[in-house]
């Protein structure tokens, strides 16, 4: 069975550009969350989607947006990229919302470098 898949795995963007990161959850999972992980720190929560609705939002600027599609895959969009947006972006899926105690599975992540 496929795990959580993310694309692209690595990408380099220029300041001011826009980026779209994609995530496919494990088959049957309805919840997708996005995290940003800067080197040496723990993952920082960006968004959670469940049943195609936003269920949680972290402390990130409006340049960050996301959506979940009918097939439960998700996209994270970041506009007007800054150097500080360089990080590992992780997608996590679970059958239900994390609060319900289901195991959460992270993808390999997308490494974004902004130059």
Partner 1 sequence: GQQVMQIPQYQHVQEGEDFTTYCNSSTTLSNIQWYKQRPGGHPVFLIQLVKSGEVKKQKRLTFQFGEAKKNSSLHITATQTTDVGTYFCAKNTNAGKSTFGDGTTLTVKP
Nearer to partner 1, 78 or 97 (CB): 97
Q: What's the rounded Cα separation, in Å, for the pair 47 and 115?
A: 25
Site for partner 1 in 32-91 (CB under 8 A): 33, 35, 40-45, 48, 50, 55-58, 90
- Backbone phi, psi, residue 86, to 5°: -65, 120
Listed residue (2, 5, 48) closest to 23, CA to CA? 5
Q: Which of residues 2-31 bind partner 1 (CB under 8 A)?
A: none
- Paired with 94 in beta bridges are 31
What residues make contact with partner 1 under the rule CB under 8 A?
A: 33, 35, 40-45, 48, 50, 55-58, 90, 97-99, 101, 103-109
């Amino acid at each position: 069975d496929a795990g959580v898949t993310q694309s692209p795995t690595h990408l380099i963007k220029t300041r001011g550009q826009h980026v779209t990161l994609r995530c496919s959850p494990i088959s049957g999972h309805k919840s997708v969350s996005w995290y940003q992980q800067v080197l040496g720190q723990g993952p920082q929560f960006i968004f959670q989607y469940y049943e195609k609705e936003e269920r949680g939002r972290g402390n990130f600027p409006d340049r960050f947006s996301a959506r979940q599609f009918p097939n439960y895959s998700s996209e994270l969009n970041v506009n007007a990229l800054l150097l500080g947006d360089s990080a590992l972006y992780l997608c996590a899926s679970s059958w239900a919302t994390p609060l319900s105690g289901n195991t959460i599975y992270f993808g390999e992540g997308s490494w974004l470098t902004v130059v």
